[in-house]
Chain A
Amino acid sequence: MTRAQIPPEERLTNLVVALMATEIGLTKQQILENVSGYRQRSAAGVKMDALEKMFERDKDELRALGMPVETIGDPSDPQDLREARYRIPQADYDLPADIDFSEAELAVLRLAGSVWSSESVSSDAQAGVRKIRALGIDGDEPIIGFAPRIAVRDAAFPALQEGIERNRVIVFDYLKPGEASSTRRRVQPLALVEYEARWHLFGVDVDAAGERTFLLSRIVSDVKVTGQAFDPALRDGAADRALSGLAAVAASHSALLEVTPGTEAALRLGRRSTAAVQGMRVPYVDRHIFADELATYGPEVRVVEPDDLRESVIARLRAIVDAHSEEERA
């Protein structure tokens, strides 16, 4: 029986089975000689150091899949991995036995898992739902009639998530509105937050040495995950800090607007406003994004203050007039 090409998933799955079947752990030697996928290569005369490298990569791959691969070193010298043993402790692998889900809970989680439009996040959510179904739960009463959708079309999303999960500094080019060119940012990513229907990255800007919030839509390069690690404790409570920071910005920035009653602007802005002597006050987080929205209302709204918001709206309206003034060029 010669099986020259054993696919990697077969070798990896056999490795998981082997590492879970052992209490005391297996040495690298035992794994390379006995686990199917390595064993055949070993017998076919593949060099030992090539096989060892393969095992190192496989181990990383399993850890990336969430497998708790444990290394048991020499107790007298933990740095010495020559005699190290490897195993996957069953207790760290299994979904704890006291976690159970009802059919109604499965229905809620199915709806929660259906909101993602991004393929990578959606498949993570579906894989999670599948694990619950593998427990034997089959809620057949789905919550119908609601279609909540989170639009994560920002291409940066998966890399940002990886940076957060692995506590690694990320690097990207960020273009602030009104600036001619982007700047390179090095960031310790802590949380991703959707606020007012836009995704924000919250993290520590390494060069500015302070916590900052970035809009994903303004990241103009690929996001690179570096090898530079940071203390995972920085992530504690990060999402709450990000949300309260955004809420504080909205509370401290508000525009005074005159709005024509009965119009689209009155309907849409009215929901978020408080009455003022001259029109209404509407809080906002980002001047440029709010100016984009206000421009869509054309003559239905006039910005009284602040000045910078008013100037931003005027600049947009003027650019639209300019773009459409000459006769159409075919």
Chain B
Amino acid sequence: MNAASAPLLAGDRVRLYLTLVPYLLERGQVTLDEAASDFGVTPREMRSMVEKLTVIGLPGDSGYWQLPQEMFDIDWDLLDEHDIIEITNDVALRRVPRFTAREAAALLAGLQMVAAVPAVADSGLVSGLIAKLSRGSADAPPDLVVAPLTVSEVQKVVSRALHEGVAVAFRYQAPDAEPTTRTVDPAQILITNGQWYLQGWCHLRKAMRTFHLDRVSDARLTDIAITHADAAVPAEFGSQTASGHVIVRLPERLVPLLGGFAHEEITHRDGKVTLRIGMADPRGIKRIAAKFGGALEVLEPAIARSATREWAASGLDLYGGPHAPDARVD
């Protein structure tokens, strides 16, 4: 569930009540912990919200106090002694409200993103869900659209291996390395920035590894059952525990462009930050650095700095001097 850290605003609490009441009525009795986790709040916060539910009720009439049957009530003993929530008198809010426009939009765009996931595509449920979300929305949801991804043959084979619980074998061409043949127990397929990555247990390296599927070819299913699927999936690219590291400096506003690379801040001055990035071979920074067109400077180690310079310089050499003739095809 999502983090329960941010404090709830009044509006959030109102929104929570409107869904909490039908949720509780539908289930009868729910433990405090379960309800808290389902609503992304702490058990303490959930207890306080449920207790305050008992001051909600129908309006009084012309100066008379509300009668008990006009107010929500809960089983106090059950809550105090067993941490279980049960509504014993309900006066309104029995039905689930419509989706707000933003709720529908967030789910609709998410749906378009996951429509390419084979398990979802095969289910045939997406178009029906789009219609239901649109019709169940209070107002027309804002258009929030993710362009459809096309699924390649390699992506399909890897997805099938994951689904069938068998290892997948393929040729892997890592940058600046000889191609290798790998056999991998698939654990997870990560799809981010339009790129697919397979995360799994590599039989060759005997460790969890992340493979960019663009670099995979000749993928084949094996008949080897998965044995290492439980190992922890790496959370980020690069690694804090890598044998080497690189120190770079770049404008603070460009840090998000580093994407998933794990990094650690060293200093921060005048809008520029100096970062340490874990990297097994520090020379590998040359490709990442080049994306910044000179705005990111590789400081250490010296081999990483010179590798970055040589990489760009040899690229520049392809264009010769300013007067070199340029062959063209029309």
Q: How many residues of B contact A (CB 8 A)?
A: 128
Measured between C-beta atoms, what is the minimum distance from B228 to chain A in Å? 14
Decide: A295 and B290 in contact? CB cutoff 8 A. Answer: yes
B residues 16-46 near A (Cβ < 8 Å) are 17-20, 22-23, 26-27, 38-40
How many A-B pairs with Cβ below 8 Å? 383
B residues 104-133 near A (Cβ < 8 Å) are 104-107, 109-111, 113-114, 117, 119-120, 123, 125-126, 128-129, 132-133
Q: Which of B5-13, B78-86, B201-209, B237-245 contacts A (4 or more CB under 8 A)?
A: B5-13
Q: Is A28 an interface residue (CB 8 A)?
A: no
Chain A hits for B97, CB < 8 A: 66-67, 93-95, 131
Known: A16-B93, A95-B95. A242 touches B62 (CB 8 A): no
Q: How many residues of A contact B (CB 8 A)?
A: 126
Report the bound CA distance from A105 to B294 in whole Å.
48
Chain B hits for A243, CB < 8 A: 145, 147
Known: A108-B125, A130-B19. A320 touches B188 (CB 8 A): no
Decide: B107 and A149 in contact? CB cutoff 8 A. Answer: no
Decide: A134 and B92 in contact? CB cutoff 8 A. Answer: no
Report the bound CA distance from A35 to B315 in whole Å.
73
Q: Is B262 an interface residue (CB 8 A)?
A: no
Known: A129-B107, A134-B19. A66 touches B139 (CB 8 A): yes
Q: Which of A46-54, A78-86, A231-239 contacts B (4 or more CB under 8 A)?
A: A231-239
Chain A hits for B163, CB < 8 A: 145
Residues 60-86 of A, flagged 1 when their CB comes within 8 A of B and 0 if not, give 011011111000000000000000000
List residues of chain A with CB under 8 Å of any chain B CB.
7-10, 12-14, 16-18, 20-21, 26, 30-31, 33-36, 39, 61-62, 64-68, 90, 92-96, 99, 101-102, 104-105, 108-109, 111-116, 119, 121-131, 133-136, 143, 145-151, 153, 161, 164-165, 190-197, 232, 235, 238-239, 242-243, 246, 256, 262-264, 267-268, 271, 276-278, 291-293, 295-300, 302, 304-305, 310, 313-325, 328
12 contacts between A and B (CB under 8 A): A17-B92, A36-B57, A93-B95, A95-B136, A109-B129, A114-B110, A116-B106, A119-B6, A296-B287, A314-B319, A317-B290, A328-B305
